[in-house]
């Protein structure tokens, strides 16, 4: 399908942030994004003309933020509200090979909904992971360095070079990706075998490092993962905040390019969808 026909649902509820940057990232690349409130998909308290169906879109993006005040657990209320009405349509959406991207709070929502890591099928009835409180017990907000570690299973990263280090900012208080304590190492190995690990936090030498390079204490430095089919990706750092080079903190030092490090993620998924559908 043509790039200009690709419809992107930028999903929001109270407390979503960076939806404008996400919208603009897709729009600037020629696709048709639309900001959609969760109630428009569930059909609650909205006019008939405002109702939308998830099947109208090829890409669903859940942006960052502090949905529902991050009460209970980050992303838990957003996820529970989606689960009641949208679990089956979303499962179908993913089965058809459409793309789902969760950034920051969106990653937390996908994990709480059971779509990530997705090792026992598209959606697990109970969460298989959690994005837990940062080791520092604080909100960590700063540029982070991510090493691209996927072997091209993930449809969001096809345009990134293997081993490339990207500067993408993090801003979260709950970003430590944990699996059930007794099976954690087994799951990490499974993620590696399935090529589900997409990004890891590194230091300026590209080496795995602890705090502050790893802002949350995530075991194995994991910053982003995808499902086994590669069409659902969640990551804590915000690629939409570095679409342009001039939003990098070091842009005045001159790097001869106007392209920000986050742009490749949006380009990759649009390229994949335009070829697939």
Partner 1 sequence: MFVADIRIKLKKGVADPEGKNTAKALELLGFSEVAEVKTSKFFSIHLDTHDEAAAKAQVEKICLALLANPVINDYSYDIKKVA
By annotation, the residues acting in catalysis are 104, 238, 240
**Between 165 and 187, whose beta carbon lies closer to partner 1?**
187
Q: By CB under 8 A, is residue 180 in contact with partner 1?
A: yes
Q: By CB under 8 A, is residue 134 in contact with partner 1?
A: yes
Among the residue ranges 45-53, 86-94, 173-181, 237-245, the one whose residues contact partner 1 (CB under 8 A): 173-181
Tokens 């991207």 -> residue: 101
DSSP symbols for 75-101: THHHHHHHHHHHHHHHHHHHHTT-EEE
Among the residue ranges 53-61, 123-131, 146-154, 237-245, the one whose residues contact partner 1 (CB under 8 A): 123-131
Q: By CB under 8 A, is residue 128 in contact with partner 1?
A: yes
User: Closest Cα partner for 57 from 121, 110, 9, 96?
Assistant: 9
**Please, how many CA atoms are within 13 Å of residue 249, restricted to the half-sphere of its CB?**
10
Residues with Cβ within 8 Å of residue 189, at least 6 apart in sequence: none
Strands 140-148 and 197-202, sheet pairing = antiparallel
Closest approach, Cβ 151 to partner 1, in A, equals: 27
Closest approach, Cβ 111 to partner 1, in A, equals: 9
Q: By CB under 8 A, is residue 106 in contact with partner 1?
A: no
265: helix, strand or coil: helix
Query: By CB under 8 A, what part of segment 210-239 binds partner 1?
Result: 217
Closest approach, Cβ 11 to partner 1, in A, equals: 19
Count of residues in contact with partner 1, rule CB under 8 A: 24
Distance, in Å, from the CA atom of 138 to the CA atom of 113, rounded to the nearest integer, reads: 25
Strands 99-103 and 165-172, sheet pairing = unpaired
Distance, in Å, from the CA atom of 63 to the CA atom of 13, rounded to the nearest integer, reads: 10
Distance, in Å, from the CA atom of 227 to the CA atom of 153, rounded to the nearest integer, reads: 9
Closest approach, Cβ 161 to partner 1, in A, equals: 33
The first and second tokens of residue 137, run together, are 């017990």
Among 54, 80, 167, 209, binds partner 1 (CB under 8 A): 80
**Between 128 and 268, whose beta carbon lies closer to partner 1?**
128
Among the residue ranges 19-27, 38-46, 76-84, 266-274, the one whose residues contact partner 1 (CB under 8 A): 76-84
**Between 234 and 239, whose beta carbon lies closer to partner 1?**
234
User: Closest Cα partner for 82 from 111, 46, 122?
Assistant: 111
Q: Which positions lie near partner 1, rule CB under 8 A? A: 72-73, 76-77, 80, 83, 112, 126-130, 132-137, 176, 178-181, 217
């Amino acid at each position: 399908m043509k790039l200009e026909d690709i419809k992107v649902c930028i999903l929001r509820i109270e407390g979503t942030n960076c939806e404008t940057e996400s919208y603009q990232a897709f729009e600037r690349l020629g696709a048709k994004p639309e900001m959609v409130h969760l109630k428009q998909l569930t059909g609650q308290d909205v006019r008939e003309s405002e109702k939308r169906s998830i099947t109208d879109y090829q890409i669903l993006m859940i942006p960052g933020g502090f949905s529902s005040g991050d009460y209970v657990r980050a992303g838990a209320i957003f996820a529970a509200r989606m689960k009641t009405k949208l679990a089956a349509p979303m499962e179908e959406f993913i089965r058809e090979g459409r793309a789902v991207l969760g950034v920051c709070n969106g990653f937390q929502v996908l994990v709480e909904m059971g779509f990530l890591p997705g090792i026992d099928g598209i959606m697990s009835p109970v969460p298989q992971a959690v994005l837990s409180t940062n080791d520092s017990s604080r909100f960590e907000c700063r540029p982070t360095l991510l090493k691209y570690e996927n072997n091209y299973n993930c449809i969001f990263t096809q345009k990134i070079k293997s081993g490339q280090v990207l500067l993408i900012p993090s801003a979260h208080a709950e970003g430590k990706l944990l699996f059930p304590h007794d099976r954690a190492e087994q799951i990490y190995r499974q993620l590696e075998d399935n090529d589900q690990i997409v990004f890891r936090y590194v230091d300026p030498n590209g080496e795995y490092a602890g705090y502050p390079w790893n802002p949350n204490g995530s075991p194995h430095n994991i910053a982003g993962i995808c499902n086994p089919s590669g069409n659902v990706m969640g990551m804590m750092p915000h690629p939409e905040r570095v679409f342009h080079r001039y939003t990098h903190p070091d842009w005045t030092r001159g790097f001869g390019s106007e392209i920000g490090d986050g742009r490749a993620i949006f380009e990759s998924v649009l390229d994949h969808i335009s070829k697939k559908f």
